[in-house]
Structure 1
Amino acid sequence: MAATKVTPSIIVGGGRVGKALLEMGGGHDLLVKRGELVPIDFPGPIMVCTRNDDLDAVLQSTPQSRWNDLVFFQNGMLEPWFESKGLVDADQVLAYFAISKVGERPVDGITDTNPEGLTAAFGKWGSAVAARLHAGGLSCKVLEKEPFQKQMLEKLIWISAFMLVGARHPGATVGIVEKDFRSEVGSLIGELAAAAAVEKGIVFDEGMEDRLCAYARAVSHFPTAVKEFKWRNGWFYSLSEKAIAQGKQDPCPLHTSWLKELKIVQ
């Protein structure tokens, strides 16, 4: 079988994901580190593997004529940020693989409910991203906007629910949350899914809790902590704040009470 042809790309960010993507390439990629400018004349996708809070700086370092080549690998809810920058149909990747430290091989998020793998790409460079991940031995499917958005929201629910429940039980990995605190995480998944479905006007596929718990088993060693609040749990908390300001009931009462319990919000 012939080796998959990997499109030479610019990779922004030399952390765990950026280094892994670089290793999957054919040696023709360009790594752009923090503070460096993205060149205008290097064709192909620009894979952004930085922290969410560095995204403004990445845009400032990228010529505007190249913005439509940006591919975002970040976790969390990016839609409000995309809209604020005029990047409404930005390319995105949901990376369902775990890399415990720089230089280690990624562990694919292949689960017993989704043996074909969960990683998904959307946008004009979707196929190029999938080819690169396949070359690295990882799964990746290319989705249209609506199914991609549903899966993005599921991944947001996964990270928001597992990290918050884990934070209530210091030292718990996502595997321990799934095994020992399944009813807590299950209740939270149900609550967040219902709120997201109403907000976005979508219907999720049946069996979400089973899918998300299966992914937790696949990356069971992953530690838990509530991070990047604005991009993760903060989106659900903003739905609560909006409802309460309108005199309605909190759509995520459990989520709100646990955030308060941990003093993440007042």
Structure 2
Amino acid sequence: MRSGLRLLLATTLLCIEAFHFHARRPTPLATSNEDVTAIRATWSNGQAIKEYQDFLETGKSELEKEDDGPSVIVSSADNSPLVDAIVALGKGEDIVRSPRDPLPDTMGGRDKYPIYIALPPYELRDFLQNLEGDWKNRTEDFVFISGGRSCGVVEPILREFGMCRDSMTQLLVGFSLPRPLTGSVNARKPEDLSVRLGEDANGEAKWAGESQACGKWNGAVAHRLKENAIRCKQCFYREWRRAMWEQAMYDCVWNVVGSVREEKTDHLDVALYYELESSDMMWELANGLRGGLAVTLIYGFEDRLFSFAEQRGKDMPCEIDERMFDHSINIFPGQCKMLWEYCNYAKSELGLLKDCRIPKVEVSSIPSLVKKGNLRADGVI
């Protein structure tokens, strides 16, 4: 009995002492909302960790910035608006080469220079498989291009050849493409498509649809675009990859949702009248990216994409290119049931994607809003 009382008394004294200890601890200094926001932003951004790791490894706290100069642009036999865009952004000193042509020893007095791979993605694998000689020795100078109707997603192809890494230069297209003029410097110059969305909690401008560059030649690429009044964010590969998949999701969802309509539909129409469908499909694909590729899109992607479509989507037609199916639609991991429902409907009811292999789903299970539009399509919100 006495031993029990002693134990109870000792426990009580210990609790009292602990209370006084915590009471004597200094009260933390109050922080403003701005301080809290900054701390959260730092810890929620893996880019900060990556930048610190690179600083420890190289001693450099910023990305290297190199001036633009004469470059090689690799073109296919088909006329390409992408080739004309890159040529038009230069100063008339670039040369256009086919994959079979030899590379020059120097360009503008430099023995190293950017080599823009402006091939359509359905020709890229064959190009990389057949690299020889100087081409094979110059892979570190390649600039791969993603985003939009002409470029799509090339990550799966690059991964096959071990080219998805920090040092590899990649450009995410955020500018308009002129009509093909076979590499003419007289082509109409591309225009910036980025959209400003206001400011974030730190007072910094928020943007949607901007070009982004990463890798060895990111400085030269950004310089070329900025010289033509086109925004280009320079970043490391991890951040670039998240932006690339965000753009890929936009290209897929807006074109698929808009292409199953009986009437012609542009990207603005999708944002205004088919918001629910687009949002549902985006979240389905975003969940697949997180689970299948460990890619978590940057917070606020839905607002950015709808804002971009509302400001830039007018007269931007919703189209599905069968040649780009495996590079703009059939690229997302996971089941993607809603996406395949729409694609099967487009194939069976509208005659689109005739030669494409689409995972089978019951077309009858598609909600009626796919065929008739949702309430907003009828003008009722």
**Which TM class, normalised by the smaller chain length?**
0.7 to 0.9
Gaps of 5+ in 2: 1-65, 107-111, 181-186, 198-205, 348-352, 361-381
Q: Residues 178-234 of structure 1, C-alpha deviation per residue, up to 9 Å, x if partnerless?
A: 122122111111111111111122432221111111222343122222231111210
Point out which structure has higher relative CO (alpha carbons under 8 A, 6+ apart): 1
Inter-partner Cα distance in structure 2 for 1:116 and 1:179: 18
Gaps of 5+ in 1: 241-249
* Partner in structure 2 of residue 246 of structure 1: none
Report whether the alignment pairs 1:222 with 2:316.
Answer: yes
Report whether the alignment pairs 1:125 with 2:226.
Answer: no
Q: TM-score, normalised by structure 1?
A: 0.85
Q: Match for 1:212: what amino acid? A: L
Inter-partner Cα distance in structure 2 for 1:202 and 1:5: 31
State which structure, 1 or 2, has the greater radius of gyration over its C-alpha atoms: 2
* Partner in structure 1 of residue 365 of structure 2: none
Change (3 A) 1:226 1:86: same
Q: CA deviation at 1:150?
A: 0.7
Q: How many equivalent residue pairs?
A: 250
Q: CA deviation at 1:116?
A: 7.8
Change (3 A) 1:117 1:222: closer
Inter-partner Cα distance in structure 2 for 1:217 and 1:112: 12
| Superposition map of 1:227-266 within 5 A | 227=321, 228-236=324-332, 239-240=333-334, 250=335, 252-263=336-347, 264=353, 265=358, 266=360
Q: CA deviation at 1:115?
A: 4.2
Q: Which of 64, 72, 76 is equivalent to 1:10?
A: 72
Pairwise CA RMSD: 2.2
Q: CA deviation at 1:15?
A: 2.2
Inter-partner Cα distance in structure 1 for 2:101 and 2:308: 36
Inter-partner Cα distance in structure 2 for 1:182 and 1:79: 28
Kept in 2, the 8 Å contact 1:112–1:214? The answer is no
Inter-partner Cα distance in structure 2 for 1:175 and 1:25: 31
Q: TM-score, normalised by structure 2?
A: 0.61
Percent identity, aligned pairs only, is 23
Kept in 1, the 8 Å contact 2:209–2:308? The answer is no
Q: Residues 81-128 of structure 1, C-alpha deviation per residue, up to 9 Å, x if partnerless?
A: 112123232321110112252323323122132448611011101110
Classify the secondary structure of the residue corresponding to 2:320.
Answer: coil
Change (3 A) 1:180 1:202: same
Classify the secondary structure of the residue corresponding to 1:121.
Answer: strand
* Partner in structure 2 of residue 80 of structure 1: 156
